């Protein structure tokens, strides 16, 4: 315990996949949620947060007090925004300086949460209504118990998908980014459009995915040390190409949603480019699959 | 760097026309006030109908154009007047994604199944690949630009 506290992190050893099933019914949120969820405290520095997110593959980390009360959430989007704001405010700041930023300055406080005994259909409605891909499961005194993600819903909950096609659920004119833009322009586009992932094109051909997550992976990875001597301004003028993943799933618009999910499920991206004869027709994310989930018997 | 804009989600029409005229314009979609201010800080004019937000942004040093009570047409006309906007023929932008348009070489246009035949000039968005050409809607664009700026676009 003391060792964990030193690291500023509180989680079980290994991937926190233990399920609290003893007293939860198969229709309640807690049955499908992951418990205990990963959390950090407000004083955890960005460097530690990055390690956790990158090495362990977390898309979100909750912020809680030492006694487990929920205070906020950090996703790659918050980290990326901070990078952009900082680079504006003082472009001459050495990139290493931001690594000591405490979580308190990154987190957002408006966490969408749900009670442990609420129903799964309630959780789906909440996610859709707030356009969030996860819910904090909290007890009556706002103590963080578990996390329920859109993936948990899609992978584990016994649901059925509507029989529609990809073309009916995808976003048709998605906001995109060209591979030759700067990181700064890419992030601006991400933040203003409210999309943390943008299809990335090169000479009008879809080539990959530019996402807040790929930027975070860069910041927490080995590649970053090559840029350790640079300033924030220099970092932000790198090209989008350096932050683009080249192998996202690609779907045909005529594929059925059920089939599409089988493909997207196997990838770690949770979204797919919809492409027809070489050109981008649309973009499909986990949230679009959630729209296709049939609620009820 | 030229003038750049940040337009709130109430003004899709204004955003579209600023892009047609060639101005780098971000269009806001479910973004909170703090992020809007941060996005605008330094180099973007914020176009919004939200008085509260306008006040906060101005206090932080953002140049704001408040549109309260104005129609979309009026907003656009007043923006043109105040910032001396003009049709930037050599830097057109995609109305969907704000990407830069590039002229499409004739040989590529021929290969592209979506490209219309018999048009002399074609552009393609570098960011999303959407094609643009001077079709029937060009006359409307041309007329609108004339109305707004007092001079007609020559070709582009
Ligand atoms: Zn475009």
Per DSSP bridges, beta strands A144-149 and B45-48 are unpaired
* CA-based radius of gyration for chain A: 20
User: pLDDT tens-digit profile of A271-283?
Assistant: 999 999 888 999 9
Domain boundary among A128, A159, A190: A159
Q: Give ∠ CA A162-A165-A170 in degrees, rounded to 5.
A: 100
- pLDDT tens digits along A53-70: 888 888 899 999 999 999
Same domain, A226 and A251: yes
d(Cα A77, Cα A83) in Å, to the nearest integer? 10
Examine the domain organization and report whether A189 and A141 are in the same domain.
no
Place of tokens 């007047």: B81
Edge-to-edge strands of the sheet including B122-125? Answer: B101-103, B122-125, B131-133
Angle between helices B51-59 and B33-40 (to 10 degrees): 50
Supply the CATH number for residue A68's domain.
3.10.580.10
Query: Is A17 part of a structural domain of the chain?
Result: no
The pLDDT tens digits of the residues spanning B117-136 come to 777 778 888 888 888 887 76
Whether residue A233 is found in the same domain as residue A135: no
Predicted local distance difference test score (pLDDT) of residue B156: 43
For residue A83, give the nearest of A95, A71, A74 by alpha carbon.
A95
Q: How confident is the model at residue B79 (pLDDT cuts 50, 70, 90)?
A: very high
CB A194 to CB B30 under 8 A? yes
Ligand 1: distance of its center to the CA of B66 in Å? Answer: 27
Question: Which of A93, A124, A159 delimits the end of a domain?
Answer: A159
Whether residue A240 contacts residue A200, with contact meaning beta carbons closer than 8 Å, is answered with yes
- B41, B96, B130 member nearest A88 (Cβ): B41
Residue B112 has, within 13 A of its CA and on its CB side, a CA count of 20
Mutate to test the interface with A, among B99, B113, B115 (most CBs of A within 10 A): B99
Residues A107 and A138 in one domain: yes
3-state secondary structure of B27: strand
Q: Range of A27's domain?
A: 22-159
Whose CA is closest to A144, among A55, A38, A245?
A: A38
Our count of domains for chain A comes to 2
Q: Is residue A11 one of the residues assigned to a domain?
A: no
For this complex, say whether ipTM is above 0.90: no
**CA-CA distance, B81 to A29, in Å (whole number)?**
56
Q: Does residue A192 sit within a domain? A: yes
Cα B100 to averaged position of ligand 1 atoms, centre (Å): 7
**Is A31 in the same domain as A149?**
yes
Contact: B98, A205; criterion CB under 8 Å: no
Partner-chain contact A175 B96, CB within 8 Å: yes
pLDDT higher at A288 or A28: A288
CA distance, residue B80 to nearest chain A CA (Å)? 23
Q: If residue A293 lies in a helix (H) or strand (E), which one and from where to where?
A: strand A293-294
Find residues 35-94 of chain B whose CB sits inside 8 Å of chain A.
35, 38-39, 41-42
Please give the structure tokens belonging to residue A251: 């779907």
In a domain, A204, yes or no: yes
Please indicate, yes or no, if residue A297 is contained in any of the structural domains: no
**Region A143-148 average pLDDT:** 94
Strands A134-138 and A113-114 come out as: parallel
In a domain, A138, yes or no: yes
Whether residues A154 and A219 fall in one domain: no
Q: Could you tell me the pLDDT band of residue A284, with boundaries at 50, 70 and 90? A: very high
pLDDT of residue A38: 83
| Range from A50-59, B3-12, B21-30 carrying the lowest mean pLDDT | A50-59
Q: What is the pTM assigned to this prediction?
A: 0.85
In a domain, A5, yes or no: no
Average pLDDT over residues B134-139: 70
Question: Is the distance from CB of A144 to CB of A37 less than 8 angstroms?
Answer: yes
Distance A198 CA to ligand 1 centre (A): 12
Residue A228 has what pLDDT?
Answer: 87
pLDDT at A10 over 50: no
- In the predicted structure, residue A164 carries a pLDDT above the cut 80: yes
> Is position A222 within any domain?
yes
Residue A20: pLDDT above 60? no
A178 and A130, same domain (yes or no): no
CA distance readout (Å), B102 to A188, A266, B93, B126: 21, 37, 9, 7
Judge whether residue A296 has pLDDT over 70.
Answer: no
Which of A168, A123, A188 lies closest to A281 in space, CA to CA? A168
Q: How is residue A73 written in tokens? A: 């959430």
Domain boundaries, chain B: 4-83, 101-149
Is the domain of A155 the same as that of A171?
Answer: no
Say whether B27 and A193 touch across the interface (CB within 8 A).
yes
Residues A26 and A151 in one domain: yes
Nearest by CB to residue B128, choosing from A131, A188, A280, is A280
CA of B131 to the centre of ligand 1 (A): 9
DSSP states of A257-276: HHHHHHHHHHSSSSEEEEEE
CATH class of B4-83: alpha beta
Q: Taking chain A, what is the end-to-end CA distance rounded to the nearest angstrom?
A: 44
């Amino acid at each position: 315990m003391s060792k964990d506290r030193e690291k500023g992190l509180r989680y079980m050893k290994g991937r926190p996949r233990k399920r609290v099933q003893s007293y939860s019914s198969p229709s309640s949120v807690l049955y499908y949620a992951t418990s205990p969820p990963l959390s950090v405290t407000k004083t955890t520095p960005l460097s530690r947060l990055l390690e956790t997110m990158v090495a362990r593959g977390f898309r979100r980390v909750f912020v809680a007090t030492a006694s487990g009360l929920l205070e906020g959430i950090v996703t790659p989007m918050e980290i990326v925004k901070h990078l952009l704001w900082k680079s504006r405010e003082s472009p001459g700041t050495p990139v290493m300086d931001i690594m000591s930023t405490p979580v308190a300055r990154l987190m957002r406080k408006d966490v969408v949460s749900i009670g442990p005994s609420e129903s799964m259909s309630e959780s789906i409605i909440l996610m859709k209504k707030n356009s969030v891909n996860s819910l904090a499961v909290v007890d009556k005194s706002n103590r963080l118990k578990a996390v329920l993600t859109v993936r948990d819903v899609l992978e584990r909950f016994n649901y059925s998908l509507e029989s529609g096609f990809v073309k009916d659920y995808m976003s048709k004119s998605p906001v995109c980014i060209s591979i030759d833009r700067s990181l700064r322009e890419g992030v601006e586009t991400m933040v203003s459009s409210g999309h943390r992932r943008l299809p990335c094109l090169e000479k009008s051909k879809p080539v990959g995915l530019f996402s807040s997550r790929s930027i975070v992976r860069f910041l927490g990875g080995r590649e970053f040390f090559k840029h350790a001597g640079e300033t924030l301004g220099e970092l932000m003028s790198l090209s989008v190409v350096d932050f683009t993943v080249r192998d996202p799933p690609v779907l045909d618009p005529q594929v059925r949603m059920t089939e599409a999910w089988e493909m997207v499920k196997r990838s770690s991206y949770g979204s797919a480019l919809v492409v027809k004869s070489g050109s981008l027709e649309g973009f499909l994310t986990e949230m679009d699959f959630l729209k296709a989930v049939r609620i009820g018997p | 760097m030229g003038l750049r804009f940040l337009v709130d989600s109430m003004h899709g029409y204004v955003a579209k026309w600023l892009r047609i005229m060639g101005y780098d314009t971000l269009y806001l979609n479910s973004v909170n006030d703090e992020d809007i201010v941060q996005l605008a800080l330094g180099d973007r004019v914020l176009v919004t109908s939200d008085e509260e937000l306008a006040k906060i942004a101005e206090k932080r040093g953002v140049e704001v154009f408040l549109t309260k009570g104005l129609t979309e047409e009026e907003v656009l006309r007043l923006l043109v007047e105040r910032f001396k906007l003009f049709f930037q023929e050599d830097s057109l932008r995609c109305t969907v994604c704000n990407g830069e348009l590039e002229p499409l070489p004739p040989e590529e246009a021929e290969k592209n199944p979506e490209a219309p035949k018999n048009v002399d000039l074609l552009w393609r968005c570098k960011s999303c690949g959407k094609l643009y050409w001077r079709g029937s809607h060009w006359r409307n664009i041309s007329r609108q630009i004339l109305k707004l700026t007092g001079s007609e676009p020559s070709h582009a």
